[in-house]
Amino acid sequence: MSHEQGPRIPFQPASRLPDTAFEILAPQGRELRLFSACVEQLATGLQWAEGPVWFGDGRYLLVSDIPNDRILRWDDCSGAVSVFRQPAGNANGHARDPQGRLISCEHLGRRITRTELDGRLTVLADRFDGKPLNSPNDITCAPDGGIWFTDPEFGISGDWEGAPAAREQPHGVYRIDPGTGALQRAIDDLAAPNGLAFTPEGRLLVVESRAHPHRLIWSYAVEGATVSDKRLLIDAEGHGAFDGIALDTRGRIWCGFGSDGQPGADAAQLDGVRVYSADGEPLAHIHLPERCANVCFGGAKGNRLFMASSHSLYALYVNARGLVR
């Protein structure tokens, strides 16, 4: 499928099995592939797809279309796509809190919101030490109910994903206390922190950052609101760029992936999802016709990987179950 300028070639599902879109990079990656499962395109026509989140109780998925300032809903029963919310504050990442409510990162309002069960919006965080946040990007919940989110400046760098504004905070990772609602900046030493997720036991936080010249994934030990033992887990080493991440029940890391824009890189071969072991070893790559920004697990058994990828939403059943909190 071409990535050159001109009309985009319509997506075509694999005609032979196993789907060659699932590339094995290490022997342990072979167990993740289901022989008869193929990549599916569930929706297309988005400007920039991000932040997928699964609602198993309603059998639907929400996904952000940031420049179009809307959140879309894909229905698992009918396959229908509808608008869940518009305007949506140029929403990016989403998660569900322990009560099942939607929590969202909004670029335009530079805030974290919670959608109450009656549809009202509650602002959980928009300022720290009296100054506005940058543009909350991605979000996750810890097992103790704490809400963690990243705050780079992508949404205030122009009009495409938010509105231009001066940065008043360092790039950071924040925690909202589940009891008091107090906001604490837990990490302030990462360049453009982006995707984040907790390991199965909840003791480690995995965070992607956009350091140069390489894209990196770090892990931190977490105890309540305190982080320690910062460790470099994965270095892309010029072979691509990470984005949103999700972990499965074995601690494997599933990363939205694409070209880092370096000269000579074969961007088409990097677009998709890269899978790593809990120790950071590359296991597999799911090739997509578009760069993948973010992923989540869902489906009735938690073994369906949803991939928000540039202009489209894709899905693939895999032999792994995600951490669906």
**pTM for this entry:** 0.95
User: Could you list the residue range(s) of the whole structural domain that residue 265 is in?
Assistant: 22-317
- What pLDDT shows up at residue 2? 31
- Residue 140 lies inside a defined structural domain of this protein: yes
- Residue 4 lies inside a defined structural domain of this protein: no
- Residue 289 lies inside a defined structural domain of this protein: yes
- 74-83, 115-124, 201-210, 230-239: lowest mean pLDDT where? 230-239
Question: Which residues lie closer than 8 Å to 118 by C-beta, 6 or more apart?
Answer: none
- Residue 8 lies inside a defined structural domain of this protein: no
What CATH code is carried by the domain that includes residue 112?
2.120.10.30
Instruction: Compute the average pLDDT of residues 88-107.
Output: 98
Q: Would you say residue 79 has pLDDT above 80?
A: yes
Structure-token pair, residue 308: 């928000």
CA dist 180 and 165 (Å) reads: 30
CA dist 93 and 256 (Å) reads: 13
Structure-token pair, residue 110: 């530079």
Instruction: Compute the average pLDDT of residues 13-35.
Output: 96
pLDDT-derived band at 5 (thresholds 50, 70, 90) equals very low
Instruction: Compute the average pLDDT of residues 297-318.
Output: 98
Instruction: Compute the average pLDDT of residues 104-131.
Output: 98
Number of domains making up the chain: 1
Query: What is the rounded average pLDDT for all residues in the chain?
Result: 94
CA dist 77 and 107 (Å) reads: 31
CA dist 113 and 102 (Å) reads: 8
- Residue 301 lies inside a defined structural domain of this protein: yes
- What pLDDT shows up at residue 3? 31
Residue 153 phi/psi, 5-degree rounding, is -125, 20
Structure-token pair, residue 187: 């990490």
- What pLDDT shows up at residue 112? 98
Q: Would you say residue 323 has pLDDT above 60?
A: yes
- Residue 10 lies inside a defined structural domain of this protein: no
pLDDT tens sequence across 208-259:
998 766 789 999 999 999 999 999 999 987 778 999 999 999 999 999 999 8
Give the Cβ contact number of residue 106 at 10 Å: 25
Q: Would you say residue 267 has pLDDT above 80?
A: no
- What pLDDT shows up at residue 240? 85
- Residue 17 lies inside a defined structural domain of this protein: no
